[in-house]
């Protein structure tokens, strides 16, 4: 199995074209004051405002044509409520989609991670932001569907090669040891070395079969369940865990 998927603009845009309307359908059929079980501090209107404001802010980032840092993102005051909020969200989604479709993925654009400062970062980031929140919205209306395996596998890679190296862990402490993750339905595995607050994603394609990775913890399940567990949406005990389970907390973000 290879260590990670390599996505593309077309791959991520296809995901957005599927997942955005699914999010829109979920928020359209819900009372916007209901709680979101996977984000218990939020109601559905909070989720709508969160995702729509991210789209609005990222639209500004990718269309600036520079790698200079933009103003810090905030949720604007006075956003619409009720049915108008759903329409506002759709407008933000459509505007961002049009920009991401038009822009060259190699064009310059700032991002917060140790990744090339190119628009492609945001093609990928918006696909995964949208699919996780689609799952949140569907769970709130009891229609949760798993994340498609190839997209979820790329989302796992994004957590490991982008979020963790950027220091965006859920828990602020250090871990030491090698962890193995296996997506049973996607033909993907990952080895990650944790060193205090640092991380290194090991390239399994260059490691000899005779090498012993000395993994202290192993986590396996479907790609969707793995990704949702890394994002704190599912408990790690819902997956197959072996070894030092405490070490797996060092992989969680969100």
130 against 76, higher pLDDT: 130
Sequence-separated (6 or more) residues with CB below 8 Å from residue 45: 32, 33, 81, 85
Split at pLDDT 50, 70, 90, the class of 237 is confident
Taking Cα atoms as reference points, which of 134, 126, 195, 117 lies closest to residue 154?
Answer: 126
Q: Average pLDDT for residues 127-146, to the nearest whole number?
A: 96
Structural domains in the chain, sorted by start = 9-140 (1.20.120), 149-251 (3.30.1050.10)
> Would the pLDDT of 1 be above 90?
no
pTM (predicted TM-score)? 0.93
pLDDT tens digits, residue range 105-134? 999 999 999 999 999 999 999 999 999 999
The mean of the pLDDT values for the chain is 92
pLDDT digits (tens, 9 = 90+) for 4-30: 446 899 999 999 999 999 999 999 998
pLDDT in tens, 182-227: 999 999 999 999 999 889 998 765 544 445 568 999 999 999 999 9
- CA–CA separation, 146 vs 165, rounded Å? 26
> How far is the C-alpha of 177 from the C-alpha of 165, rounded, in Å?
15
Phi, psi of 41 (to 5 degrees): -85, -5
- pLDDT of 249 strictly over 70: yes
Looking at the chain, the whole-number percentage of residues with pLDDT higher than 90 is 85
pLDDT number for residue 6: 64
């Amino acid at each position: 199995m290879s260590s990670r998927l390599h996505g593309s603009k077309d791959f991520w845009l296809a995901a957005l074209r599927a997942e955005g309307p699914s999010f829109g359908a979920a928020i359209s059929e819900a009372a916007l004051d209901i709680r979101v079980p996977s984000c218990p501090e939020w109601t559905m209107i909070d989720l709508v405002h969160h995702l729509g404001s991210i789209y609005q802010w990222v639209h500004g980032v990718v269309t600036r044509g520079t790698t200079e840092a933009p103003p810090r993102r905030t949720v604007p005051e006075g956003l619409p409520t009720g049915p108008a909020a759903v329409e506002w969200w759709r407008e933000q989604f459509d505007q961002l989609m049009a920009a991401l479709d038009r822009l060259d993925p190699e064009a310059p654009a700032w991002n917060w991670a140790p990744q090339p400062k190119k628009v492609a970062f945001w093609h990928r980031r918006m696909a995964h932001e949208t699919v996780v929140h689609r799952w949140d919205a569907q769970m709130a209306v009891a229609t949760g569907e798993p994340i498609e395996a190839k997209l979820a596998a790329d989302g796992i890679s994004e957590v490991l090669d982008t979020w963790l190296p950027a220091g965006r862990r859920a828990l602020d402490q250090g871990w030491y040891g090698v962890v193995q993750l296996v997506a049973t339905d996607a033909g993907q595995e990952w080895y990650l070395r944790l060193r205090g607050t640092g991380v290194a994603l090991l390239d399994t394609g260059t490691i000899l079969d005779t090498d012993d990775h000395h993994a202290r913890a192993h986590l396996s399940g479907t790609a969707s369940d793995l990704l949702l567990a890394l994002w704190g949406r599912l408990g790690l005990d819902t997956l197959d865990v072996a070894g030092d389970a405490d070490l797996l907390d060092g992989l969680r973000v969100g």
